[in-house]
């Protein structure tokens, strides 16, 4: 079997790459190899769906701004055969709250985000109260709000990219890549768990939380590791009088409204809690005991009416973590034809459209002309050139 491009991983990043390649005029054979077409453990399937441009690195801000333009028109753009996805992109904003402990670093971050070109606003306590009237703000000094930020439905976005790519003659193969054939510093093909091989000169590593393992198959060491993040869906006690933005509490808990809801359905929120001490590994089992022990108390401290919340579902999602919490993008300098599109560290969905554009340009023209991605180079960890961007949650 032969393909001009083999994409390892068919979730939102891999399918965005495939769609952009074809949309941008690539005529060669594109084969996406995905070991589980249900995507039950894919980062995108288990994600919260946040989309924000509140970063301190200019290229990251520009990538999300590019992606937002895709989200705005996603349903129409990815309608296939009369079937339109429902991305549920809602620009309700991201609200970061600062208390006395976090005020100084958040102010520095706000100033850096402004310099980077992000659309951000500094809110007084009264401004925050006007935006979200029911919050307890006695300990809050100020807020930082991104009005163009928001959230979308990860599963719908994933399905939209996949159907869009398939409609453009991108092929999907359910199998697992277990080897990468290399000859003299060039990619020559991949080997499959089924026993087959695919001859190719271009491999895109879009394997998400497992992309470090795929890199190792090619003899490369790139530190991308899976790390669990726990999420819950909770029913509100009544229809809320307003829709929440993404609210990020200084203590780490954050929540957003859950869309869509049908007639008669309870109003819901999705809640996560940033913990950087989660064990490395691909365990996505729920941690139901943490709802009462950690999540609910933190929520009630910020909004007392949340004491009536009822957890209706819990699950573990996977971050594909790098040491500096930034993506790995581009061809590895020691292996021609091996292109990384991974390591997004919880930001993959929001960067998926821009990443597709970047990799499309790299494969078709040999360079990324829309975005300067040099800081995301796969060998930066070996060179000690880590990225310092404080805007990670």
pLDDT digits (tens, 9 = 90+) for 14-44: 999 999 999 999 999 999 999 988 888 888 8
Q: What DSSP string describes 158-221?
A: HHHHHHHHHHTT-EEEE--EEEEEEETTEEEEEEETTS-EEE-S-EEE--GGGHHHHHHHTT--
Contact (CB, 8 A) for 157 and 44: yes
Secondary structure (3-state) at 12:
helix
Secondary structure (3-state) at 33:
strand
Tell me what pLDDT residue 20 has: 98
Q: What is the mean pLDDT of residues 195-210?
A: 97
Tell me what pLDDT residue 25 has: 98
Q: What is the DSSP letter of 265?
A: P
HSE-up of residue 101 (Cα within 13 Å, Cβ side): 5
Least confident piece of the model among 36-40, 75-79, 158-162: 36-40
Domain layout of the chain by residue ranges: 5-82+153-224+323-383, 94-148+226-320
Query: pLDDT tens digits for 2-18?
Result: 999 999 999 999 999 99
The pLDDT of residue 281 is above 90: no
Contact (CB, 8 A) for 136 and 302: yes
Q: How far apart are CA 342 and CA 344, in angstroms?
A: 6
For residue 391, what pLDDT band results from cuts at 50, 70 and 90?
A: low
For residue 318, what pLDDT band results from cuts at 50, 70 and 90?
A: confident
The reply to whether 5-82+153-224+323-383 and 94-148+226-320 are identical in fold is no
Closest CA to 247 of 277, 272, 276, 278: 272
Secondary structure (3-state) at 144:
strand
For residue 266, what pLDDT band results from cuts at 50, 70 and 90?
A: confident
Closest CA to 280 of 225, 322, 328, 323: 225
Find the largest Cα–Cα distance for the chain: 64
With 0.75 as the threshold, say if the pTM is over it: yes
For residue 166, what pLDDT band results from cuts at 50, 70 and 90?
A: very high
Share of the chain above pLDDT 90, in %: 84
Tell me what pLDDT residue 279 has: 66
Q: How far apart are CA 47 and CA 258, in angstroms?
A: 12
Q: How far apart are CA 116 and CA 111, in angstroms?
A: 9
Q: What is the mean pLDDT of residues 163-187?
A: 97
With residue 278 as reference, give the H or E element that holds it: none
The pLDDT of residue 275 is above 80: no
Share of the chain above pLDDT 70, in %: 96
Closest CA to 94 of 121, 71, 116, 115: 121
Q: Which CATH superfamily is domain 5-82+153-224+323-383 in?
A: FAD/NAD(P)-binding domain (3.50.50.60)
Tell me what pLDDT residue 325 has: 94
Q: What is the mean pLDDT of residues 301-306?
A: 96
- Architecture, CATH, for domain 94-148+226-320: 2-Layer Sandwich (3.30)
Burial of 388 (0-12, 13-18, 19+ CB in 10 A): exposed
Relative orientation angle of helices 58-72 and 348-365, to the nearest 10 degrees: 100
For residue 393, what pLDDT band results from cuts at 50, 70 and 90?
A: low
Ordered alpha helix ranges (H), the chain: 12-23, 58-72, 74-77, 103-116, 125-131, 154-167, 211-217, 289-290, 296-302, 348-365, 380-383
Tell me what pLDDT residue 134 has: 92
Q: How far apart are CA 135 and CA 124, in angstroms?
A: 14
């Amino acid at each position: 079997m032969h393909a001009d491009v083999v994409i390892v991983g068919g979730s939102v990043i891999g399918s965005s790459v495939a769609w952009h390649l074809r949309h941008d005029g690539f005529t060669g054979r594109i084969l996406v190899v995905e070991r589980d077409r249900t995507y039950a453990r894919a980062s995108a399937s288990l994600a919260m769906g946040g989309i924000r441009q509140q970063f301190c690195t200019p290229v990251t801000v520009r990538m999300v701004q590019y992606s937002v333009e895709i989200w705005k028109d996603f349903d129409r753009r990815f309608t296939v055969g009369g079937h339109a996805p429902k991305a549920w992109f809602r620009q309700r904003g991201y609200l970061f709250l600062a208390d006395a402990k976090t005020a100084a670093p958040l102010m520095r971050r706000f100033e850096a985000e402004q310099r980077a070109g992000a659309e951000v606003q500094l809110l007084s306590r009264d401004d925050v109260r006007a935006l979200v009237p029911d919050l307890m703000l006695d300990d809050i000094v100020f807020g930082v709000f991104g009005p163009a930020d928001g959230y979308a439905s990860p599963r719908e976005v994933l399905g939209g990219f996949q159907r869009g790519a398939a409609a453009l003659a991108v092929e999907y193969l359910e199998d697992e890549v277990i080897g990468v054939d290399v000859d003299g510093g060039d990619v020559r093909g991949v080997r499959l768990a089924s026993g087959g091989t695919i001859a190719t000169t271009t491999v895109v590593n879009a394997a998400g939380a497992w992309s470090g393992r795929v890199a190792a198959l090619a003899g490369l060491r790139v530190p991308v590791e899976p790390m669990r993040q726990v999420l819950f869906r909770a029913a509100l006690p009544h229809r809320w009088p307003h829709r929440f933005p993404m609210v990020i509490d200084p203590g780490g808990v954050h929540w957003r409204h859950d869309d869509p809801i049908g007639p008669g359905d309870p109003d819901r929120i999705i809640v996560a809690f940033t913990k950087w001490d989660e064990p490395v590994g691909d365990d996505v089992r729920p941690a139901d005991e943490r709802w009462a022990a950690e999540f609910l108390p933190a929520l009630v401290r910020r909004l007392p009416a949340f004491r009536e919340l009822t957890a209706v579902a819990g699950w573990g999602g996977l971050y594909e973590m790098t040491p500096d919490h930034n993506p790995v993008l581009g061809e590895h300098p020691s292996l021609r034809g091996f292109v990384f599109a991974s390591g997004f560290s919880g930001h993959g969905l929001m960067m998926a459209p821009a990443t597709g554009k970047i990799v499309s340009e790299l494969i078709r023209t040999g360079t990324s002309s829309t975005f300067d991605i040099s800081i995301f180079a796969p060998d930066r960890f070996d060179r000690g050139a880590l990225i310092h961007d404080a805007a990670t949650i």
